[in-house]
Structure 1
Amino acid sequence: MEEGGDLRDGRNSLRMRMKKVFHSPATHAVIIALIIIDVLLLLVVLLVDIDVIEVHAETPEEEEELKLEVEEGLHYAALTIISLFVVEVILKMAVEGKHFFDEKWEIFDAVIIFVTFGLDLALAFSPVSYVVRDSVSLLIFFRLWRVIKIMAEIQYCVRKEVPETIDKEKLAKEKADWLARRKEAHTNV
């Protein structure tokens, strides 16, 4: 019976450590960086697709082939990043439990991530026409909403860090005042 309690305590301890990791400023910085890279990859794919960024080769056939290879490479890089976000959401769900669903932003983010991940996989591994690929690519562009997520991540970091800093400063000032009063009391004796 005690073993079950130890196992449960171990899981709760792991859950608490994972919560600290998910809510750390370093984790939020990594997420922000990945979001920025993901958005940039999507923009470059779009710009290559509409020929704003041109791909040059010796023949038109080689140029078209090279363009497809560049788009495919960028697409796989973006798919790797969205895969990391899928893992992040799954881990957050496991760590936060039912509290994960209290945050509407988290739910919206999870839906966007899972839908775009599914669409990305469908595009990557199934032969579809350019019309279908372009239509689905527009849906994947929903990931750009994550720019808003960047702002939410920054807001979370500021909201968490500023009160902690203020509390530390307040505590340090109270301690200094107490020490000054104590020193003054000893001096007057």
Structure 2
Amino acid sequence: MSTPCVPSVPAHPKVVTLDELLAQLKDRQGERVVFTNGCYDILHPGHVDLLARARAEGDLLVLGLNSDDSVRRLGKGADRPVNTYAVRAYVAAHLQSVDYVAMFEEDTPYNLIKAIRPQVLVKGGDWSVDRIVGRDVVEAGGGRVLSLPLLQGFSTTRLIEKIQNSAVL
């Protein structure tokens, strides 16, 4: 039995380690940092819309992206993530609204938020403000925490189900 070929993607300058991100942010002091996070497994219009609106809340947007192991622990299904971290980060980095993409290995981005201390923390409307991880850090620094309405009709899970249901067996 042969091993499936896993495609690789080129490096992208917006995809950074935490140390690289902190150095970049140090060079951009005085700018309002916005942070959001998620899996962004199969990018769809709902993702693009949320990221654009999040970016509009500040001067630059940091996207915290779950590692592959972190996605698996979320219980989204045995087949998730569909795309590897490298692929997801590469695609997200090409969006004009995203300034930096940084991975987090934990179940939540709390440590990443604590390290970068954004002035604005954004999640989609399926998260109430009181449930948003990192809220305490951002508000303690005088920042804002926002739950932005979602663009209706778009869901990675529903997209995967649609693909699976339309597959010819």
Classify the TM-score, shorter chain: under 0.3
Bigger strand share: 2
If asked which structure has higher relative contact order (CA below 8 Å, sep 6+), I would say 2
Bigger helix share: 1
